[in-house]
Chains A and B, each alone.
Chain A
């Protein structure tokens, strides 16, 4: 078992984001008795340190990285399915993209993470064992589908950058909304989410779906709550679409045109247990007494008689056990667990 201490002598080559300058790489002891099994490396290696070393190598060996130069550097065999001679090819590609964009590279060379220039978005690449014959599989987290099949990883990253720039207005728009309004769903909005569930002060939920390519146009709206209140809100939708002003932000438009205030964020962070203290108790499902069900559902079903909110799955579980319930097609009908008046719920697939 050998221990290698790597020193990064940066010389202004790469920016260090708070990563320590000395990185100790330990080789874990081989668990198998066979001498042929490769040793395991540390989980992931700081790429800026690696890049610095490679830079040093390059300077020493006239701008070319050879495999031989890599091995003594690391003093162990990387536990990778990729053929050894292809490692250098991978490193070349990463060098082209720019080591400052590489967030993480796994020790078994099976996946890597690249971040955007603004640092807020990430892209993941899965490196197959047949690399470089088989291309790196790209995973992006964008609200629109992104497929770029290119031989070179650099081309994919460039296409991604272009896409991110085009989506910038959308991301800013959503960020503004997330910072002001109380968002009930998704709990932690990601760049790829285009819907947001808001709470209006009349206890009706509003689910907006924003178009990523034309974010400032009126979003698609869906109301969730007691049917009489939803009907009132839906009647205001035409004035919403007609009166929409893209120079105003989403909240301003909604509050003005639907004539209802939207619940704002509190100072606490939005994780589920605290959520029930900011949203009124009437909003919890009255069967399981929580906001998010086991399957992540929200209490969308509101009884028309007692106005209590419930999860479709909770009502289904309840009605399933009653002899008086009737089931036809996708609907289960029976007595509301709260007020015993008729209620119907979706049958889960």
Chain B
């Protein structure tokens, strides 16, 4: 990324901030880790180190890509980055396209960036994908200062951050929640149920809804293109997944951490996947 060009209009990140549905609640609750509710960062001037480091991180992220991690610098502001993480295989999140907004502060890299998981609430549905991804977009990760554990180090980069987030999208996701750790490997019903929920919602929201309305949700064009290409690659795996899990259809489940009961409908998702496939194929 040699330079960023001023588009004349405000940056995409700013646009997204303006009509963020949970911004008001973040402001009223004083949530400090939201990239959109960052008045303290808005007014402070960016230090030379922060700007240099931000540019470098984005350039490194775009030039040496990791499997499943995609980065697109904001069109007008170097401190905002649109990131996309594709769920790894052998996890309930496989093939899902999870969108994040990462913002670097004026004291980067001495302060951690602020991250928002856009997929949790902005793409038409509010989903608790993971114990560590709250419905308001907060990402609970120790290096972001939003969870217990090793804190942010100045030597961490955008790539290492996104890698850490990707590792949270793992099988037996519920075991990340305090109190459920001992259930790892025990094949507990609460854990398997959460995984089924995660898989279902990944396909429904993080694949179908995200792709269907990508332009409306204003996901950066480069990321949309990557998504479309990967969709065709993973299509068969998505269908196979739906077939495999169709046995849970229409059975009410109680899923930990959710306030309402959950009724899976993998058949419906399969229908939508096929429709989306023909839709995208027609666009080619």
The A-contacting residues of B in range 51-100, CB under 8 angstroms, are: 52-53, 56-57, 60
What string of 1s and 0s marks CB contacts (under 8 Å) between A246-280 and chain B? Answer: 00000000000000000000000000000000000
Cross-chain contact A290 with B155 (CB below 8 angstroms): no
Q: In the complex, what distance in Å separates the CA atom of A161 from the CA atom of B140?
A: 70
- Distance in angstroms from A80 CB to nearest chain B CB is 40
Closest to A294 in B: B48
* A314 in the interface (beta carbon within 8 A): yes
Give B109's nearest chain A residue, CB to CB. Answer: A287
Instruction: Give A229 to B192 CA distance when docked, in angstroms.
Output: 53
A130 at the interface (CB under 8 A from B): no
Residues 50-64 of chain A: 1 if any B CB is under 8 Å from the residue's CB, otherwise 0? Answer: 000000000000000
Cβ contacts under 8 Å, A289 to chain B: 53, 56-57, 60, 157
Known: A294-B48, A338-B153. A321 touches B110 (CB 8 A): yes
Beta-carbon contact of A290 and B110 below 8 Å: no
A318/B157 in contact, CB under 8 A = no
The interface residues of chain A lying within 8 Å CB-to-CB of B56 are 289-290
Please indicate the chain B residues that have their CB under 8 angstroms from the CB of A293 in the complex.
Answer: 49
Q: Name A285's closest neighbour in chain B (CB-CB).
A: B155
Q: Find residues 152-198 in chain B having any chain A CB closer than 8 Å to their own CB.
A: 153-155, 157
B78 to chain A, nearest CB (A): 15
- Is A191 engaged at the interface, CB distance under 8 Å to the other chain? no
Report B-chain residues with C-beta under 8 Å of the C-beta of A286.
Answer: 155
Q: With A317-B110, A318-B110, A321-B110 in contact, is A288–B53 under 8 Å at CB?
A: yes
Closest to B153 in A: A337
* Number of inter-chain CB pairs below 8 Å: 35
Point out the residue from B53, B57, B155 that lies within 8 Å of A337, measured CB to CB.
Answer: B155
The answer to whether the Cβ of A344 comes within 8 Å of any Cβ in the partner chain is no
Within 8 A of B (CB), among A281-303: 286-290, 293-294
Q: A294-B48, A294-B49 are in contact. Are A288 and B153 (CB under 8 A)?
A: no
Q: Cβ of A290 and Cβ of B52 under 8 Å apart? A: yes
A308 within 8 A of B: yes
How near does chain B come to A318, taking the closest CB pair, in angstroms? 5
Residues of B within 8 A of A340 (CB): 153
Chain B contacts for A288, CB-based, 8 A: 49, 52-53, 109
Please, how many angstroms separate the alpha-carbon atoms of A287 and B153 in the complex?
A: 9
Contacts of B111 in A (CB 8 A): 321
Instruction: Quote the shortest CB–CB distance from B139 to chain A (angstroms).
Output: 22
Contacts of B110 in A (CB 8 A): 317-318, 321
Per-position 1/0 for B110-144, Cβ under 8 A of A: 11000000000000000000000000000000000
Contact A318 B48 (CB under 8 A): no
Q: Is the CB of B52 within 8 A of A287?
A: no
Interface centre among B53, B56, B153, B154 (most CB of A within 10 A): B154
Q: How far is the CB of B162 from chain A (nearest CB, A)?
A: 16
C-alpha gap A338/B157 in the complex (Å) = 11
Task: Output the nearest chain B residue to A321 by Cβ-Cβ distance.
Answer: B110
Q: How far is the CA of A214 from the CA of B154 in the complex (A)?
A: 45
Across-interface contacts of B153 in A (CB, < 8 A) = 337-338, 340
The contact sample of 12 A-B pairs, CB cut-off 8 A, is A287-B154, A288-B53, A288-B109, A289-B60, A290-B52, A290-B56, A294-B48, A308-B155, A314-B49, A318-B110, A321-B111, A338-B153
9 closest A-B pairs by beta carbon, nearest first, are: A337-B154, A287-B154, A286-B155, A318-B154, A338-B155, A337-B153, A337-B155, A294-B48, A289-B56
A289-B60, A314-B49, A317-B110 given; name 5 further pairs at CB < 8 Å. A288-B49, A288-B53, A288-B109, A308-B155, A321-B111
| Chain B residues within 8 Å of A, Cβ to Cβ | 48-49, 52-53, 56-57, 60, 109-111, 153-155, 157
